[in-house]
């Protein structure tokens, strides 16, 4: 039986971005983290117009930063030094969403990662050069967030998803994103010929990875547990309140895995811990519980803790790490969530019992679906060099057969997979064999219509 997945958005009335709130405020906001995660998938599924939106998003974030100066309004913000910060969210007219956390620590890293991803997809070195001073400024802000000299950022204030972390806290997600941001900016620096700066950032990125992976007894964030282990929620370095927040939160373990902080032993340990408590984490009324409990009521806890984009990241990582246990079960739950939402692609929080609790059809949840599908299941990934092909990773017994209308530059590619197994035996484009380079095949025709045949087999 051939299964066909057709994706489209037709009911615009469901997807309005503005609505009246109290005091006439508009319910319209752009969240920095969500731009980072959302564009991972939209850039793969869309054409080059998506890259234009990525660029304009970076330009708007810079404008919002220049309106977001710390001048003492929040005495709890540790870098209360008149610096300008990438905001956690901005609203209509680039106003800073002050009723959110305007100086979210994580948003500084997200801006840098978005800038790198734009270049990696577009190759627009001229634009990166034009905003280089902004990139260096935000990178310096990340450096200042390490106040005790161990490279791990601890000057945290404002976070997503009920983490409630404040100053003098080291936590794995922020450490991982900071490390990835440093190594990403290092690649941009090297592209611009700034070798010394690139080397310094790479050393800091490596140091974070080493230090956060130390056992908690040695000042790190990894807790051994029998033959396995996991990242704890946080470490408080506040004088007189030094302690470990020993809570296993999937969010704080999967994102470091995505950022490249873990080794194969840690990957398996994290997946096994998730699998051991499948019903307690995944099979819930309102969807998978990936983030910290909100502490209010069940509906609000599940509202923002059952985040679909993280579930798709989970499915993606299980495929890439060849951990198939429960991968299909999680995917099936997500598809049921989409059905529950009634015409909305993937909501932020929706359970298999018909309860829609989170935002409807938000970009990051749906963006990560496309990232999981294109890059995880089909093994395709766009970059500035072309479309790379690696081994597919089908979910369960659902075979990969074809994928049409994949755009790169001014070219359109139609893909067809034949044979059984997951190893790639041969790739042809318009009848001509494509040579493999370092385990991948690259398509770089930038114009015209092309048909790609991928023959699968066993190793």
For residue 285, count CB atoms less than 10 angstroms from its CB and return exposed for 0-12, middle for 13-18, buried for 19 or more: middle
Alpha-carbon distance values, 255 to 2, 36, 222 (Å): 34, 13, 14
pTM of the model: 0.90
Contact in structure between 126 and 192 (CB atoms under 8 Å): no
Owning domain of residue 436: 380-459
pLDDT average per 10 residues of sequence, the chain (459 residues): 45 38 52 90 93 94 87 58 83 66 81 98 98 98 94 81 73 96 99 99 99 98 96 94 93 95 98 93 72 51 60 94 95 77 62 52 75 96 98 91 96 96 94 92 98 94
**Domain of 61: which CATH number?**
1.50.10.10
- Coil, helix or strand for 119? helix
Residues 407, 353 share a domain? no
pLDDT of 350? 54
Q: Which of 264, 299, 331 is the last residue of a domain?
A: 264
Question: Domain check: are 235 and 327 in the same one?
Answer: no
Q: Domain for residue 245, yes or no?
A: yes
Number of domains in the chain: 3
Q: Are residues 224 and 342 in the same domain?
A: no
Q: Are residues 96 and 214 located together in one domain of the fold?
A: yes
Tell me what pLDDT residue 87 has.
86
The CA-based angle 443-444-447, given to 5 degrees, is 115
| 407 and 288 belong to one structural domain | no
Residues 239 and 317 in one domain: no
Q: What pLDDT was estimated at residue 368?
A: 87
How far, in whole angstroms, is CA 363 from its chain's centroid? 12
For residues 295 and 338, state if they share a domain. yes
């Amino acid at each position: 039986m051939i299964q066909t997945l057709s994706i489209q958005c037709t009911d615009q009335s469901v997807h309005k971005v503005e609505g009246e709130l109290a005091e006439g405020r508009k319910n319209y906001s752009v969240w920095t983290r969500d731009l980072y995660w959302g564009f991972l998938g939209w850039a793969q599924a869309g054409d080059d117009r998506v890259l234009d939106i990525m660029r304009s998003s970076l330009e708007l974030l810079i404008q919002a930063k220049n309106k977001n100066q710390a001048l003492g309004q929040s005495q709890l913000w540790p870098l209360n030094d008149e610096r300008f910060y990438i905001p956690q969210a901005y609203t209509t007219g680039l106003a800073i969403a002050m009723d959110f956390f305007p100086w979210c620590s994580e948003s500084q890293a997200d801006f840098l990662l978005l800038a790198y991803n734009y270049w990696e997809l577009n190759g627009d070195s001229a634009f990166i050069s034009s905003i280089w001073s902004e990139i260096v400024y935000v990178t310096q802000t990340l450096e200042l967030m390490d106040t005790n000299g161990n490279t791990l950022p601890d000057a945290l204030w404002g976070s997503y998803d009920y983490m409630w972390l404040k100053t003098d806290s080291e936590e794995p997600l922020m450490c991982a994103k900071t490390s990835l941001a440093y190594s990403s900016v290092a690649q941009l620096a090297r592209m611009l010929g700034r070798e010394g700066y690139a080397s310094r950032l790479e050393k800091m990125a490596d140091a974070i990875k080493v230090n956060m992976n130390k056992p908690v007894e040695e000042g790190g964030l990894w807790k051994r547990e029998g033959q396995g282990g996991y990242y704890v929620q946080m470490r408080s370095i506040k004088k007189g309140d030094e302690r470990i927040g020993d809570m296993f939160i999937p969010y704080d373990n999967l994102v470091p895995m995505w950022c490249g902080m873990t080794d194969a032993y840690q990957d398996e340990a994290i997946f096994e811990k998730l699998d051991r408590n499948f019903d307690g984490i995944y099979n819930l009324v309102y969807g998978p519980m990936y983030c910290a409990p909100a502490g209010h009521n069940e509906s609000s806890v599940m509202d923002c803790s059952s985040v679909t984009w993280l579930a798709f990241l989970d499915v993606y990582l299980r495929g890439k790490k060849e951990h198939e246990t429960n991968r299909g079960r999680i995917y099936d739950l997500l598809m049921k969530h989409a059905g529950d939402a009634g015409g909305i692609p993937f909501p932020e929080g929706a359970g298999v019992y018909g309860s829609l609790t989170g935002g409807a059809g938000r970009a990051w949840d749906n963006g990560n679906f496309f990232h999981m599908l294109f890059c995880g299941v089909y093994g395709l990934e766009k970059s500035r060099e072309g479309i790379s092909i690696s081994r597919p990773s089908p979910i369960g017994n659902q075979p990969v057969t074809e994928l049409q209308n994949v755009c790169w530059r001014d070219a359109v590619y139609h893909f067809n997979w034949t044979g059984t197994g997951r190893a790639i035996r041969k790739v042809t484009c318009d009848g001509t064999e494509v040579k493999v380079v370092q385990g991948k095949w690259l398509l770089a025709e930038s114009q015209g219509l092309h048909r790609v045949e991928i023959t699968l087999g066993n190793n």
